[in-house]
Structure formats: structure tokens, C-alpha cells
Amino acid sequence: MKKSDRKSIISAVKRVIIKIGSSVLTDKKGSLSESVFDVLAEEISGIKARGIEVVIVSSGAIASGMKKLN
């Protein structure tokens, strides 16, 4: 696909679905990484500011509870 075709498709997007896995949300110790959440929030805010609906799918809930279970 040509770059110009991709730009055309992307400019017409009304909704994006972002899947965020547990490994993205946690550090090496398995704790939730606040800095990652900060970056994600900033990026998602920028997308929404362009009028694009954002749907987030995450398995991060599992990661956030694992530390308490262990």
C-alpha cells in the first residue's frame, strides 16, 4: 500500500481500538507502571482531541490483581 493511500485511510478514521496487554502496563517486578499510564493517557488524549473515538481493551486488570494474589 502506498503511503498516500495509508494517509487517506487514516484521515477518515472515526474510531480506533487499542489493545493494551499486561506486559505493557507492568514493570519487571509485575507492578503497574504509572509512567506508562501517563504516556498512554497523553497519547489517547491527543487522539480524542482529533475527534476520534477511542476504545481500550486491556488484560491489565489481571496484572493489577496478580500482585495481591501472590
Query: Who contacts 5 (Cβ-Cβ below 8 Å, separation ≥6)?
Result: none
- pLDDT reading at 63 higher than 70: no
- How many other C-beta atoms can be found within 10 angstroms of the C-beta atom of residue 25? 20
**What residue ranges in the chain does DSSP mark as E strands?**
15-20, 53-58
The verdict on residue 32 lying in a domain is yes
Q: Which one has a higher pLDDT value, 61 or 58?
A: 58
13: cell is: 478514521
42 in a structural domain? yes
Q: What pLDDT is stored for residue 64 in this prediction?
A: 65
Which has the higher per-residue pLDDT, 38 or 21? 38
How many domains, the chain?
A: 1
Residue 6 falls within a domain, yes or no? Answer: no
pLDDT score for 2 = 84
| Domain, as residue range, for 35 | 12-69
Task: Determine the pLDDT at residue 61.
Answer: 66
pTM beyond 0.75: the answer is: no
